[in-house]
Amino acid sequence: MKDKTHPEYKETTIACVCGEVIHTRSTKQNIHVDICSKCHPFFTGKQKLIDSAGRVEKFAKRYAGKVKPKAAKDAAVPEAPEEEKKPE
């Protein structure tokens, strides 16, 4: 094998925003992540609803007056005529 073709594989730490620190080995040093297995909803079983920057409210505000509601069909639905009964 040729020398110096592979990157150095060093001890490193992975730090999550929640405070979890994982010690492992990698070619990169001091990795920072937003979500880890300790705080991810899939692993914890708890649902976190994150509405970053109020996107839902922004969308509702932006398109509130632009969409016209569809014309409602007549409230009274005409009844189907009953079948004529033939005398036997």
Would you say residue 5 has pLDDT above 70?
yes
- With beta carbons less than 8 A apart as the criterion, state whether 28 and 46 touch: no
Going along the chain, which residue ranges are E strands? 10-16, 21-26, 31-33
Residue 86 has what pLDDT?
63
Q: How far apart are CA 13 and CA 51, in angstroms?
A: 30
Q: Which domains does the chain have, with CATH numbers?
A: 10-61 (4.10.80.400)
* Mean pLDDT of the region 14-21: 89
* Mean pLDDT of the region 69-78: 56
* Residues 19-62: tens digit of each pLDDT: 889 999 999 999 998 888 788 766 676 766 666 667 778 888 88
Residue 24 has what pLDDT?
92
